[in-house]
């Protein structure tokens, strides 16, 4: 959590798939925001000292037994509150309004008719397109509230208690399907909560360096670095904070891309001047992964071996106190059940699955940031664009892109196919326009014909997505000519592959990675 120099917005999560987007949008307004479960205690809420609170949507019905709720003391905190969808209905349910199942659902676009002037809708015209997703509706509001807007199916699409600055809206301003959504959120944060827009990456760097120094004291830190933007930015921050008491450790787990180990060592040592220990632990990783095909098991094994290696290297360096990791906020959101009713999607080796015996304390300077914020920090630190805009690569590496059994032969096939794919994307000038692109080796074989011979060989899937925050993503409609070139090169140049397919699924319902 940042120092008290920043104004803060608190988002309480009731299980909506859009909850993370609310926090992300507030951050885009340069106001610090955190997402916490709706079960957050009043003591912790008061300690967080928010300038405003947003209650997310959720899939439950407020009148059902066991529905997620919030401490009713929240209404008397004296800070503005914005309830969105379920959060709005919960506000009504607890404050004396009436919520019940609607005669019909309202899902998709709706026309919002604004009836009353209010700061929440400053800058908007009398009508606005909004995104609805609800089956219940508010039929009656408490006497202290006033109606602000309606839709065809919602008599109370937006309301306000002007004395307590309690707002409720039935639609979702955080999604791109609500064109004026950012303006509404900005109005709430700026005009109603009166937040200062001082959450910048320049201020974050100063704050992060100070916090690292305060926490580490005279201790020593080893850093888990992969060569990607996350771990590299984290390493530069820690190095700037404590200088030669930081040692970066790069582990070659045998699951890297073509020539990646050599490139990473050269960049960190020669270009960035970071004190680096490089460890080739590929044999250990691959032997532990032999025969393992279940993705969660793969991830946890890789995470455990990572920590083993770090502990060993720590002993060689003498007394070490901290382990640095490049954990990001989306990793935390996806990996842990911290979001109350929201579902855990998958584990990340850098935020869970760590052995209890680990003797090092974690230091995660980027834990509060989304990916594009990390890139902005990299620019503040003076890192070059090739590194800053390097596409993400998962900690488990090709271990979660080589589906099924992991062998050196199958990993080499995937390495070469992936290198061809990325090479052609760069030649087409599309690399910076794509959030993430990679090849996947499928656990199936395909019949084919090469020359006059029948083949029965591996299948490569290609993946490319557009994304703003890596929490949601849309597949990229790559040009057919590019796909043709990539497919031909892979089949002709990578021995053992006779078929290439393209993944056209978005997140959700899929994840970006296949495992």
> What are phi and psi for residue 124, nearest 5 degrees?
-100, 155
* 348 given a catalytic annotation: no
Which residue of the set 33, 38, 85, 195 is catalytic?
A: 85
CA distances from 38 to 35, 74, 138, 159, 161 (A): 9, 11, 21, 22, 22
Which residue of the set 36, 134, 165, 172 is catalytic?
A: 172
* 349 given a catalytic annotation: no
Q: In this structure, are strands 146-150 and 497-502 parallel, antiparallel, or unpaired?
A: unpaired
* 20 given a catalytic annotation: no
Handedness of CA 257, 261, 265, 271 (dihedral sign): negative
Taking phi first (over 0 means left), then psi (-120 to 50 degrees means alpha), and beta for anything else, what does residue 206 get? alpha
Helices and strands (DSSP H and E) totals, the chain = 14, 18
Q: How far apart are CA 274 and CA 235, in angstroms?
A: 8
Burial (CB < 10 A; 0-12, 13-18, 19+), residue 152, is exposed
How does DSSP assign 396-409, residue by residue? Answer: TGGGGTB-S---HH
Q: How far apart are CA 92 and CA 69, in angstroms?
A: 12
According to DSSP, residue 324 is labeled E
Q: Give Dmax (Cα) for the chain.
A: 82
Question: Which secondary-structure segment (H or E) carries 133?
Answer: strand 127-140
Q: In this structure, are strands 127-140 and 497-502 parallel, antiparallel, or unpaired?
A: unpaired
Between the two ends of the chain, the Cα-to-Cα distance in Å is 31
According to DSSP, residue 507 is labeled B
CA distances from 449 to 413, 445, 498, 499 (A): 19, 13, 8, 10
Beta-bridge partner residues of 436: 465
Which residue of the set 28, 34, 106, 174 is catalytic?
A: 174
User: In sequence order, which residues have a C-beta less than 8 Å from that of residue 243 and are 6 or more positions away?
Assistant: none
Decide if 224 contacts 324 (C-beta within 8 A).
Answer: yes
Tokens 């479960």 locate to 37
Q: How far apart are CA 492 and CA 486, in angstroms?
A: 10
**What is the gyration radius of the CA atoms in the chain, in angstroms?**
25
The residues carrying an active-site annotation are 85, 172, 174
């Amino acid at each position: 959590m940042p120092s008290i120099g920043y104004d803060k917005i608190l988002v309480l999560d009731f299980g909506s798939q859009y909850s993370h987007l609310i926090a992300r949008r507030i951050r885009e307004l340069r106001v610090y925001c955190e997402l916490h479960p709706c079960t957050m205690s009043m003591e912790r809420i008061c300690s967080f000292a928010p300038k405003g609170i947003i209650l997310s949507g959720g899939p439950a019905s407020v009148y059902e037994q066991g529905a997620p709720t919030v401490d009713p003391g929240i209404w008397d905190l004296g800070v503005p509150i914005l309830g969105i969808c379920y959060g709005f209905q919960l506000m009504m349910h607890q404050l004396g309004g009436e919520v019940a199942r609607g005669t019909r659902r309202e899902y998709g676009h709706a026309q919002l008719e604004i009836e009353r002037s209010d700061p929440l809708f400053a800058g908007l015209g009398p009508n606005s397109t909004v995104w609805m997703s609800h089956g219940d509706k508010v039929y009656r509001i408490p006497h202290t509230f006033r109606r602000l807007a309606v839709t065809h199916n919602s008599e109370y699409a937006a309301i306000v208690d002007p004395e307590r600055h309690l707002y409720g809206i039935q639609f979702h301003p955080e999604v791109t399907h609500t064109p004026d959504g950012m303006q509404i959120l900005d109005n709430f944060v700026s005009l109603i909560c009166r937040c200062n827009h001082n959450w910048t990456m320049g201020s974050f760097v100063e704050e992060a360096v100070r916090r690292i120094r305060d926490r580490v004291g005279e201790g020593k830190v080893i850093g888990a670095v992969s060569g990607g933007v996350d771990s590299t930015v984290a390493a530069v921050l820690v190095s700037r904070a404590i200088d030669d008491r930081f040692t970066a450790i790069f582990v070659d787990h045998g699951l890297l891309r073509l020539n990646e180990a050599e490139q990473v060592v050269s960049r960190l040592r020669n270009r960035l001047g970071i004190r680096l220990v490089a460890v080739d632990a590929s044999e250990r990783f691959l032997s532990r992964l032999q025969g393992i095909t279940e993705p969660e098991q793969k991830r946890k094994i890789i995470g455990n071996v990572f920590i083993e290696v770090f502990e060993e290297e720590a002993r060689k360096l003498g007394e070490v106190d901290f382990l640095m990791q490049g954990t990001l906020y989306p990793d935390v959101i996806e990996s842990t059940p911290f979001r109350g009713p929201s579902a855990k999607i998958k584990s990340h080796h850098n935020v869970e699955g760590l052995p209890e015996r680990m003797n090092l304390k974690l230091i995660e300077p980027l834990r509060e940031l989304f990916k594009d914020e990390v890139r902005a920090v990299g620019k503040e630190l003076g890192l070059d664009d090739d590194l800053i805009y390097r596409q993400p690569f998962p900690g488990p590496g090709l271990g979660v892109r080589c589906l099924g059994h992991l062998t050196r032969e199958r990993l080499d096939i995937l390495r070469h196919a992936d290198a061809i794919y990325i090479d052609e994307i760069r030649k087409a000038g599309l690399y910076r326009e794509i959030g993430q692109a990679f090849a996947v080796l499928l656990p199936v074989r395909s019949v084919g014909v090469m020359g006059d011979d029948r083949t029965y060989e591996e299948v490569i899937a290609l993946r490319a997505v557009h994304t703003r925050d890596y929490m949601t993503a849309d597949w990229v409609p790559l040009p057919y000519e590019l796909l043709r070139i990539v497919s031909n090169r892979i089949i002709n140049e990578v021995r053992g592959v006779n078929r290439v397919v393209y993944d056209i699924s978005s997140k959700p319902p899929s994840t970006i990675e296949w495992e």
